[in-house]
Chain A
Amino acid sequence: MSKEELDARSMKALIGIANAWYDQMKDGEIPSISLPTRTKYNIEYDDASEVWKYGDKESLRTAATAKSATHLLKMAYVIGFVKQQLIENRSSTLREMYYISEGWKRAKFGAQDESNFLVEDLEIISDLPREGFHLRPEENGASIYGPMRIREPTRRGLKMIHCQDDVGSAGYSIPNNVENLDLVDHDAKFVIAMETGGMYDRLIENGFDEEYNAILLHLKGQPARSTRRLLNRISLTWNLPILVFTDGDPWSYRIYASVAYGAIKSAHMSEILATPKAQFLGLQPSDIRDYNLPSDKLSEKDVEALNAELTDPRFATDYWKKQINLQLELGLKSEQQAFAARGLDFVTKKYLPARLTEMGVI
């Protein structure tokens, strides 16, 4: 979708919401709006797109109490603000909008969370990404390094960038909006997305990208939207295997889940953010056992999280059931950098080649 097209659709969708309210009030009705319920009990697997999306459960927001009325008022102010941005072709960050709301009197946001949530609501209602509203996230994207070329429109014109030759040792920084990024070409066999910077740097330093023609990506913990969107596009455009390499604890498995299946908070965007083909590389609970890795005992919270994952529809596969139950049995967790205990080259010379062969990637 071109920028102009996206803008036009955003404008139409937002004015549509305002029009609906106008008509409701004209008919002497209290304005209201209906939204999908945004909890893990209302996400469903969509067979066609292979991602998790919101289900049918909807909640109706009616301006019948001061609280919901104020919520609708805030939404109206955000719509008015976005309309102005679209007309003037400007953009702002979510945080900037939060500060701008200072002047909205009763419609002022109480906290940044509130404005983020409201913008997500608008995304859901309009079925458009927030980029269409000219709103940028504060979070910056992560970095990528490997044999690939991209073309990015910058303020100094269109730039062609090779993600090994044209970048520093830390790689190419993924911008906030990757919609305008062109994926030009590549010479890679697969992509490894890593949770920690330490492992990303280790693989670059050990020349893993050159030896195996791998694209390396640093997720920076729970990945930002633009990072997930880029993985989604690489997977669709170049049809490369995407492998997620995290720590071996319940919280890291959720990082994988949000890459592969989508996050509960943004399930309305799963189709463009999730990469259903992404595979979990490690660190698997069975690796802790097989490689006898240095480990820590599971805390009560960890055990709780693992049990919660056993009931999470996104983890309802044989593979995950086996691995999670094994981990509960072991009572242990390890970090991905624990491989260093066997020497700095162990991960690139032994573990990854073995694991990638086992997965049929190399």
Chain B
Amino acid sequence: MVLAEELAKQQRSISVAEFFEKNKHLLGFDSPTRGVITTVKEAVDNALDACEEAQVLPDIYISIKKTGPEIFRIIVEDNGPGIVPAQVPFVYGKLLYGSRFHQIRQTRGQQGIGISAAVLYAQLTSGLPTVVISRTGTKEPAHKFEIQIKIETNEPDIISEQPVEWDRIHGTRVQIEFKSTMSAKKKLLEYLKYTSVVNPHARFRVELDDESFTFERVSQEVIACPVAIQPHPHGIEFGQLKRMATASDEKLIDFLVNGFSRVGKKTAQEMCDKSGLKATAKVKGLTAEELKNLLAAMQSVAVPAPPTTQCLSPIGEDLIRRGLDKEFQMDFVAARTRPSSVYSGHPFAVEAAIGYGGKLPPEGNAVILRFANRVPLMYQQGACAITECISNVNWKSYNISQQGLPMGAVLILVHVASTNVPFTSESKDAIASIPEIEKEIVLALQDLGRELKTFLSRRDRNKLAEDRARAVCAVIPEIAAKVSEIVEKPVVDTTPIEGRLMKKLIAKKWTRDGKVTIEVNNYTGSDVEISVYDISTDNAADADMPPAFSTEMEGQFTKVWKMAIPKQTVWRVTYTGKGGGMLDIRGVEDTKKMVVDLDV
């Protein structure tokens, strides 16, 4: 008894803020290093979501500066719609306060924890309040706030508030200072790069201490903001149903028809019948027991899948390709957007892309980019369903080596968009294993794998042809020269071998004794009219055949000759120079021509 009383003295409610103070890792603040990324991520997510809602092209400025020993100041500024002054303290100074939690549509942020957790983290490590400036339009002045969170009550603590001059017409700027390190700089830039890939309509300007980076937008189209839908009877839980019922003045049948997606009169009646409730009963008056029966009935009656298109906003195959092209220079990119689908009443869509070659690292595991609702997932790759799906695909059958994960110069992007992304934890690092989602991911990857295989085999064929051309045009003449020297006979002419084997238009370029020669042999059966493009540091001023025109850019001269070459004849030009650079023939299809630089 005494003990119980003693204990009772200690028992009291815990504020969410207090709870998170003790469980920072749940929100991605487990280490000072990670704190920077989480903060930037939450602020950028909010900015992108806000711009999307306001239908403006995001222009986001991010600055990270060291202001004291181990103290960093993070500023994120957007051109979104701004926040009305009365709401600012709640958005930043109260955990679990948000506009999107109750909506059923694809958004980046959901619970309204992220940015206020950063405010809390700043307050705990540096003791400095967070500074927010926001402006909602030309007619309104900007307001500046200094905010903290009252930890015991989870209420905002406004330290100061005043109107200020601000050059942005609308938007929000948040400045947070906390203890951290910049050891995760590489990861941070990676995060921004990946974010830029899946948000090709956004521009990011970044200042890291003294360095600045810009991730430019490649699309000028504002993305359509996903429209919220009603909950689906199969995807609802008891608590939500109870809350909706309490708030409703309607009769049961109307409540079902108006409150849920894909429920018509007939389906609603069936649900009423199954649960043994009257269609005309007021939902407000239903007991917990009755609601339980109703829920069971709702989930057992067949209901068409929820509408998926308007509540989801997949990036689209074209924009994924452009986004990847912009940030990774690769030889091949293909993207696939799968038709949207549903798991447990939640709409989702899977998108994937594969890139190959170019500047990707040729060895080691493939580069894997995971996204959920356009947000890059930076941690816990091993625990993520996406990674597991990638390992489960048999890449060897697409001519890609594999040791668990695919290996080599391969990039794989997977984006899962959903009204409710099933994360494994609140820090939103990894997607949980949901069979419906996994199936879609694997289908998308297999589809892309086949496309990559086609590309690789075509490339190998071209390689073979090129290899042959190099042997015939570059090496055989050298063999001829050496062999003729050994047998002490006149140098044997190898052009007949070339002509017989290649039956093409062959352009050769070589440099000897400071003279560059370009030779075009027409071994085809017809006369051709072509242009020869020669780009190098040589200006070809003394060319024995002056070019049709010549332009210079940054020390590179582009010389163009236009001419007709009758079949089985040769055209040749010589000028003083160092050679190198690029040579191309235009005016004849790719399969009919071959360009060989003999100096290589």
Contact = CB atoms under 8 A, between A and B. Distances in A.
Please indicate whether A and B come from the same complex rather than being unrelated chains.
yes
Interface string B478-496: 1110111111010010101
B484 A65 contact: no
A18 B489 CA distance: 11
B565 to A, nearest CB: 21
Contacts of B486: 14-15, 18, 76, 79-80, 83
B471 A69 contact: yes
Interface of A: 14-15, 18-19, 21-22, 25-26, 28-31, 63-70, 72-73, 76-77, 79-80, 83, 106-107
A26 B496 CA distance: 9
A76 B476 contact: no
Nearest to B484: A22
Decide if the interface of chain B is mainly helix, strand, loop or mixed: helix
B475 A25 contact: no
Nearest to A26: B492
Given A25-B476, A25-B494, A19 B487 contact: yes
Nearest to A27: B496
B497 A30 contact: yes
B496 A73 contact: no
Contacts of B485: 80
Interface string B322-360: 000000000000000000000000000000000000000
A28 B500 contact: yes
A85 to B, nearest CB: 13
Nearest to A25: B492
B496 A15 contact: no
B30 interface: no
B471 A68 contact: yes
27 contacts: A15-B486, A15-B487, A21-B483, A22-B487, A22-B489, A25-B479, A25-B480, A25-B494, A28-B496, A30-B476, A30-B497, A31-B479, A63-B475, A63-B476, A64-B468, A64-B472, A65-B464, A65-B468, A66-B467, A67-B471, A69-B471, A69-B476, A73-B479, A76-B486, A79-B486, A80-B482, A106-B474
B159 interface: no
Interface residues of B, number: 25
Contacts of B478: 73, 106-107
Contacts of B224: none
B483 A76 contact: yes
Given A65-B471, A107-B482, 6 more contacts: A14-B486, A21-B483, A30-B497, A65-B468, A68-B471, A76-B483
Contacts of B487: 15, 18-19, 22
B482 A76 contact: yes
**Residue picked from B467, B482, B492, B494, most chain A C-beta under 10 Å:** B482
B470 interface: yes
B475 A73 contact: yes
B164 interface: no
Contacts of A15: 486-487
B479 A76 contact: yes
B475 A22 contact: no
Contacts of B501: 30
Interface string B440-471: 00000000000000000000000010011011
B192 to A, nearest CB: 43
A79 B483 CA distance: 9
Contacts of A14: 486
A13 B19 CA distance: 91
Contacts of B470: 66
A72 B486 CA distance: 14
Contacts of A67: 467, 471
Contact of A66 (B471, B492, B496): B471
Contacts of A29: 497
A69 B497 CA distance: 13
Nearest 3 pairs between A and B by C-beta? A69-B475, A69-B471, A28-B496
B280 to A, nearest CB: 83
Contacts of B484: 22
A318 B492 CA distance: 58
A67 B489 CA distance: 26
B449 to A, nearest CB: 29
Contacts of A21: 479, 483
Nearest to A84: B486
A79 B492 CA distance: 18
